[in-house]
Structure 1
Amino acid sequence: MMGKVTLRNLAAHKIRLVLTAVAVILGVAFVAGTLIFTDSMNKQFDDLFSRVGKNVAVDVRAKQVVDGDDDGTAAQPVPASVLTTLRGIDGVKNPQGNVTGYAAVVGKDGKVVGTPQNGPPQIGANWTNGGSYDLSAGHAPQGPSEIVLDEKTAEKGKLGVGDTARVLTSGAPRQMRIVGLIDAGNLMGATFTGFDTATAQKLLLKPGYFTDIEMGSTGPSQTELRDRVAKALPGDLEAVTGEKLREESKSDIATMMNFFRTFLLAFALISIFVGAFIIFNTFSMLVAQRTRELALLRAVGAARAQVTRAVIGEAVAVGVVGSTLGLLAGAGLASLLQSQVGDAGDGGLTFTATPVIWSYVVGIVVTVVSAYFPARRAAKIPPVAAMRDDVALPQRSMRIRIALGSLLTLVGAALIAVGLGGGGGNPVVPVGAGAFAVFIGVAMLAPVISVPVLRLLGAAPARLMGSPGRLAQQNALRNPRRTAATAAALMIGLALITTVNVLGATMRASIDSQVDAQFGADYLVLPKGAGGVAADVEQKVKAVPGVQSASSTYEGDAKIAGKKVSYMSGDPAVIGKAARLKMVSGGTDLGAAGIMVDEDTADDNHWKVGSAVPVTFPDGKTERLTVAGVFTKSDLIGPRLMSTQMYLRHTVKPSVDGVVVDTAATNTATKTALESALKDHPDLTVFDQSALKDEARKQVDGFVTFLTILLVMSVIIAAVGVINTLALSVIERTREIGLLRAIGISRRQLRRMIRLESIMIAVFGAVLGMAIGVAFGAALQNALADEGLGVLAVPYGTLVVYLVVAAVIGVLAALWPAWRAGRMDVLKAIATE
């Protein structure tokens, strides 16, 4: 019997439940889309790595000395003489040396092919017959002026066999002829430029050396052959199996994709969390409106458990429908995500059981859990209530709610403080748990907060718009719990969006402050991608009229006291002036074996001028450096500065990170002259102080926009919640609306009343959310003040825009409920019980 009751109720309230299902659909779509997208990308990477090194049994490479020096590429390369040794080992088949590095090609439009800025790499390598790829046109490169390109790179640059193209490496640009194209399949957006081995060694590494040497096997297993090869190698080299080599490559990608999946799922969970408020609110209102019906069921013999199961059954149905539609929408979202990652998304979607399982688990569980407490309240309705004219569900005392809400808010704030305090461990867990507790706590306190806030928000409409304004205010205040639950959904979304915007404004203000305080150079030459600055750029810059000084800067890794550390190197006098360095003690004369450190590093290690510091470099060599000077903290230099000679002595293929430039005058003519001198380097940009700020702001703005877009889903779900609440509220007040119409209120006034009520609820949620967001943003800034966020900035203009957007959401959410209320038949509405 109760099953039939459940089905009947679903049919009777289908519009309301469809609106509720929208919250489930949107949340599940985010989860399903994320899982489908990452599964698809993982499949494409697996296909890519299955082709790379497929015939490799053993690989010989340099041992990793400094953690993070992946596969030893920064260490000493492998001498070509090792090939002779390997050929003499029983079981080794066709050993070949590989050379890899940075190489980019300039297309016919004068632009570098590919988008290396935080994107796929631009790979240069030696071409070997029988390698991972096959030629699809032309022939292999022969000699110092020939290259081969992958087909997609050639297509993007509008280049073909026989064309001459400018090739960029860490040396001077070179004009080289394209003699062949290779079928590399889907390189996930990366570009490939192949040279003959001698040219690759000269341009990408070092003559007579390889990055690594790979070989096949004539019979022994990979493990057995690895052991044989390892015995014949010098101590600074190691042998690994081909299987391990491929697993390491896959592991790096898997780590990146797992982070991306976790990142997106965090926003999906936010949307689901917001949706839970909507579902809870909807079922609470449905139960309240069906009090007499549920009491009659109890009167005719239905047990409490049966009533509970009937309401839960409705929730399960909503969850199943919402999960199914959400899964379909998720596939569309995954396709949209793939379209935004360029060539990396060309492989199509991959469907596994994981998104399906999690879509239904998340959709059904969240719906059922959200509907559980309203179902419990429905079961507690006494049978005698069926005989009363005025039936209402009993409300619990606000004292317990206030006490619990206050406790959760305080505990959440404490957890956030612990997480941001840097006490060790992973801060994400306490910060996330703290934010969750704060949201729940504030949502519980919202009914109490809503009364004074809504009185304030409704004061102007009540005075300026007469009866509709007063009635709207009274309706919003009539059920503070319901109003608070509706506003809480919008509160969460806008709280997080506000936090992101406060953090973005803080980052922009802090960067401006840092550049003003620490950037003393007139110009800075930086690469657009990961290839670095060519070695000849410094001399070209120095030759520009008006340039007084210029110095290349380098960044390297080393090991001090057993820990990986980073350092900058370059001309200390020029860099010190460019960074407006303030010395605490000592000076900038590093000599042959000196190091400068900031005062925090000196204090942490108990160093002073003259202290000896053993430093191990990626090539495995250790030098005993002397502290020549201690300087105040500099975000532009970092904690350590070494001489250019020290960096070059321990680096196989130096990579210039930038060039700092001082000129006699900073004007348009000087900047134009610098850009003209570097016209052969389209991968470089000349920045003055203003342009450097603008570039940093662009990156921050991109970051803020990306996060805001991800959070907009939760705001959309919240808007659906406002629609749902108002629609149910109109149905609940059918008789009241009929009476208002009977005593003379017009349809226009009625619609205005509902719109004003919606706006008040939406603006209340926005005000509450923005207040929490500003508090979260200030807490983050305070915790990260020593990490470069020294200036707190609140984007008041943006917050005003969000307040207006919240009011617009209120207007849009009220359109359908207001239209429905205005169409009611007066007599039928008055006759409604």
Structure 2
Amino acid sequence: MIQAGWDRLRLFNIGELLAHRGRTIMSMVVMGISAGLLVSVFSISGSITGSVDKLTHSLGGNAALEVSGITDAGFDQALLPQIRAVPGIGTAVPMLRESIGADADRAMLIGADASVSKLGSDLGGALQDQASTLLNVPNGVLIGSAMGHREGEQIQLGSITATVAGVLDESTSKRLNSGHIVIALLPVAQKIADRPGRLDSIQIIPAAKTDVEQLRSDLTKLVAGHAVVADPDLRTAQAGGSLQLVKYSTLASSAAALIVSSFLIYNAMSMAVAQRRPMLSLLRAIGGRRGPVVRGLLAEAAILGLFGGFVGSLVGIVMGRIAIGKLPAAIVQSVEARTEYEVPGYAIPVAVAACVLASVIAAAIAARQVYKVAPIEALAPVGTSTSDEVSRLLKWGSLVVGAVMVGAGVVVADADLGRLSLVSISLAIAGAVVLCFSATGPIVRVIAAVARLFGAPGALGATTIERAPRRVWATTMTVMIGIAAIVAMGNASRNMVDAAAQTFQGLGRTDVFVSATAMEQFPTGPLLPSDLKDKLRGIPGISDIGSAQMAFATLGRGRVMLQGYEGGVARSSALDGTSQQDLDRMAAGQGIVVSRDVARSLGVSEGSGVDLPTPTGVHHVTVLRVVPYFSAIAGVVVLDLNILRQWYQRPGETIIGIDFAPNADHEAVFNAIRAAVPAQLHVVTGEQAVTAISSSVRQGMSISSAILWIVVLVSTVALLNTLMLSVLERRRELGVLRAMGTSRRFLLRTVLTEAAGIGVTGAALGLAVGSATHYLATVALGHAISIDIHYQASPLLLVYAIVALALSLLGSIPPALRAAHLPIVEAIAAD
């Protein structure tokens, strides 16, 4: 039985794949592109979260719970003995973990005591091996191999001079933040960070037979909001949150490529059924059953999906490595671990499985024709068979399903579901495809009418179009999806960038900013030197100088960005329109301003009360305003600067804003500021800050845009494949026409008119669907990033459609040339 099935598959299916190498290769190529896009998208998110998860396990080892600081200010070390006294605690390991350096030199400082060896982690092993050395070397530290220092070397870390007591081996370094790590005993690390008596983390290993959930509850009561008690993977979950917008948008674009590929597989399988009708009729006439034939076609499609998906996945690994370098600096710098490129274990299996599933589903739809064709009817040419007709029930069913999908897309977009609102874009485009299926007949007639506009060659092309309505419809949909995606997402992304830039436009009112990190990264630390502000205040030509501070903080299981401002300098646009009364309440610690996504996640509105956990305890505040604010990485909570410093125990500032005196020489004052600021700090004008942040937003959407243009290229391959199959199907017919004296030019124009009919109609549908979805996408994106995005059509909308159409029509050139140069004798001989 198995042997018979294998022989049937080898003879009738694998043999056909090898006989039609062009069709096979093109089908595998488009499936490979889809797989490559999926693997690259999975790899981008997997690299960020995987790097954080790897670091978490390398530090925490066997810890089941972690008490962590609400912000990078950590919590009081006095909590440690109280935690160790809680019943059920087996081991409580204190740690200080802080980012040091900036940009390319960014590394992690880790401090721990002797108890770290009980965690069974890479950190514990490294400290245990070198503990005596660290004790005997004043201010001794262990350095990762990537830091570029040698044993015995003295280096400046923070405000002290440390001595390199040892360099970690390559293997251990790679597991610990890719070797960008400094390890010290806890007192030394606290001295380097200038944070005496502070901890960032306590790793908890429960005693034997301890109820972990009860222990979690007891610890939560003990810390009383001064710290967070959670699973160690909380950091991984928070890191993944900063990637959600990029992940959703790129996955949606990759899904569009997979859908287009499915249409191509449908076309290929439909053509296979049409080409094999003589063979199928013979098999049916001698008693062959339909079931094995259909299973063979499904297996054939699965083979295409499997091989195409696997090869494409390998290419996707390379694509992902390139794409990870294109991520905005704000995303990469928002997580504590250095990003190390890695392909998640699920990426390739999921991508290959998606390709196989898409291929099989598309082939199953095409293979239904086998069940609808009788032995005698199978000998008829394509177009005269009832298998090419769409039943009335299916038409009406498609109309209802399509309308429901489009309606659901509108509801989801309008429902303010946060980043889940982006699902509405895919729902709307998919619903439009289903609606178009219910209108297959009218669409095919329009395509034929467009072809007839080109005279006699068009009339012949129109006849061919009408003979294979489903194949023509499927090809038209590939063009439509590609153009609709480009028009909708391309223009919506442009509107989003404009709206995001407007959010930060207020920064341009400040003449100069000084920060420890580049402005395109949210300046959340490190803190600026404590004497810098006073030093800058003495520079002639400065009229006003103000401080601001940003910091990531844990709120629930999510992460928010705290922002505190002083006076009118360096103030966020989040405070635009805030009344003086509300500003006074903020200064008194009575209220906060939050972005829409924070309000959504907390389930609050203006006037609601919120319990804000801080290192100084839980503070009850009122939500004074809910504001639109660009929240691609984290939602925003705005406080008065002094309140932020007090509650979160973060003295100082991460940003200094400077305004020039009215008659000051701007260039001279700027140069004076640059000379007074340490070289490693960033000094930019307000306009440069706005430009840098806007560029970072554009960079974040560039990956999705690139994928959309790849979808258009897939549409080009689909059109090429369909027309090439059409030429091959009509070899004998074309040969007879040539024998009757028809010129090569006439045949070439015939194929081109088919392409023009399909391309123009697909482009028109894509433009209509894309324009409607563009509006929907602006609403959905607005909810996803918590800002107001104004729909604004652009002449570029039409340009996008024309460029995409031109690329799609390129696919008609090879088949047209093939038809024009078909050998007459060989074509007539083919039967």
Scaled by the length of structure 2, the TM-score of the pair is 0.76
* Alignment match, 1:677: 676
State the alpha-carbon separation in 1 of the partners of residues 556 and 822 from structure 2: 79
Within 5 Å, give how 1:351-390 maps onto structure 2: 355-356=348-349, 361-385=353-377
What letter matches 2:75 in structure 1?
Answer: Q
Q: Secondary structure at the match of 1:99?
A: strand
Match for residue 538 of structure 1? 533
Q: What is residue 485 of structure 1 aligned with on the other side?
A: 474
Mean alpha-carbon deviation: is it higher for 729-738 or for 660-669? 660-669
Q: Which residue of 2 aligns with 1:77?
A: 76
Q: Over residues 129-167 of structure 1, what are the superposed CA-to-partner deviations in whole Å (9 max), with x where a residue is unaligned?
A: 76536389996498997755311132xxxx545666665
* In 1: Cα distance, 2:208 partner to 2:548 partner: 46
- Alpha carbons 1:29, 1:333 under 8 Å: kept: yes
Distance 1:233 1:127, change over 3 A: same
Q: Does 1:124 align with 2:121?
A: no
| Per-residue deviation, residues 13-37 of structure 1 (Å, max 9, x unmatched) | 4543443344444444555677789
Matched AA of 1:379: Y
Query: Gaps spanning 5+ residues in structure 1: where?
Result: 106-110, 115-121
Q: Tell me if 1:204 matches 2:193.
A: yes
Distance 1:560 1:250 in 2: 15
2:263 paired with 1:277: yes
Cα distance in 2 for residues equivalent to 1:50 and 1:411: 46
CA shift digits 1:751-788 (9 cap, x unpaired): 35434543553454344334323322211324555832
* Superposed displacement of residue 486, structure 1: 0.6
Change (3 A) 1:96 1:615: closer
Alpha-carbon separation, structure 1, partners of 2:25 and 2:509: 61
Distance 2:622 2:24 in 1: 73
Matched residues, percent identical? 19
Pair 1:670–1:392, CA change in 2 (3 A):
farther
2:821 corresponds, among 787, 805, 823, to 823
Corresponding position of 2:565: 570
* Structure 2 residue aligned with 1:496: 485
Q: CA RMSD in A?
A: 5.2
Q: Which residue of 1 aligns with 2:303?
A: 320
The corresponding residue for 2:330 is none
CA distance in 2, matches of 1:92, 1:673: 57
Provide the C-alpha distance between the structure 2 equivalents of 1:562 and 1:59, rounded to a whole number of angstroms. Answer: 14
Change (3 A) 1:658 1:766: farther
Equivalence for 2:807: 808
Code of the aligned partner of 1:316: A
In structure 2, C-alpha distance between the alignment counterparts of 1:605 and 1:87, rounded to whole Å: 37
C-alpha deviations, 1:340-371, integer Å up to 9, x for none?
A: 6589787877868x955x56654444333322
- Give matches, 1:451-466, under 5 Å: 451-452=445-446, 455=449, 459=453, 462=454
Question: What is the SS of the residue equivalent to 2:430?
Answer: helix
Alpha-carbon separation, structure 2, partners of 1:752 and 1:282? 24
Letter aligned with residue 796 of structure 1:
P
Contact residue 45 and residue 247 of structure 2 kept, 8 A: yes
Residue 701 (structure 1) aligned with residue 692 (structure 2):
no
Q: CA 1:125–1:797 in structure 2 vs 1: closer, same or farther (change >3 Å)?
A: same
SS in 2 for 1:132: helix
1:506 deviation in Å? Answer: 0.4
The code of the aligned residue for 2:722 comes to T
1:236 partnered with 2:217 = no
- Residue 706 of structure 1 aligns to a residue in which SS? helix
Distance change (3 Å), C-alpha of 1:559 and 1:702: closer
CA apart distance, 1:79: 2.5
Q: What SS does structure 2 have at the residue aligned with 1:185?
A: helix
- Whether the 8 Å contact between 1:472 and 1:756 is mirrored in structure 2 is yes
Letter matched to residue 111 of structure 2: N
Equivalent-residue separation in structure 1 for 2:41 and 2:626 (angstroms): 45
1:307 aligns with 2:290: yes
Of Structure 1 and Structure 2, the greater helix share is in 2
Post-superposition CA distance 1:566-591 (Å, at most 9, x none):
76423244466987833557374459
Which deviations, in whole Å up to 9, do the C-alpha atoms of 1:632-651 show, x marking residues without a partner?
95749998754332222212
Query: 1:489 and 1:143 mapped to 2: Cα distance?
Result: 68
SS in 1 for 2:614: coil
Report the alpha carbon displacement of residue 269 of structure 1 after superposing the two structures with TM.
Answer: 4.0
SS in 2 for 1:792: coil
Alignment of 1:2-41 (within 5 A): 3=8, 5=12, 9-10=16-17, 12-28=19-35, 30=37
- 1:580-659 matched pairs, under 5 angstroms: 581-584=576-579, 586=581, 588-589=583-584, 593-595=588-590, 616-622=612-618, 633=627, 635=629, 641-654=638-651, 656-659=653-656
User: Of residues 398, 402, 407 in structure 1, which corresponds to 2:400?
Assistant: 407
> For residues 22 and 313 of structure 1, what CA distance do their matches in structure 2 show?
21
| Alpha-carbon distance change, 226 to 398 in structure 1, aligned in 2, over 3 angstroms | closer
Count of residue pairs brought into register by the alignment: 781
Deviation at 1:102, TM superposition (A): 2.5
Aligned match of 1:720: 717
Is the contact made by 2:513 and 2:656 (CA closer than 8 Å) also made in structure 1? Answer: yes
Give yes or no for contact 1:100–1:124 (8 Å, CA) kept in 2: yes
The residue that corresponds to 2:738 in the other structure is 741
Task: Give the corresponding residue for 1:553.
Answer: 548
**2: distance between equivalents of 1:641 and 1:257?**
22
Structure 2 CA distance for partners of 1:347 and 1:398, relative to 1, 3 Å: closer
User: Counterparts of 1:784 and 1:555 in 2: how far apart (Å)?
Assistant: 25
Instruction: Give distance in 1, aligned partners of 2:641 and 2:505.
Output: 26
Matched, 1:445 2:439: yes
Q: Which amino acid in the other structure matches residue 477 of structure 2?
A: A
Separation in structure 2 between the aligned mates of residue 24 and residue 766 of structure 1, nearest angstrom: 23
What letter matches 2:363 in structure 1? A
Task: Name the structure 1 match of 2:684.
Answer: 686
**Aligned partners of 2:736 and 2:824 also within 8 Å:** yes
Partners in 2 of 1:562 and 1:40 — Cα distance?
21
| CA distances 1:178-206 after superposition (whole Å, capped 9, x unpaired) | 56433423335573234564453245363
Letter in 1 for 2:738: R
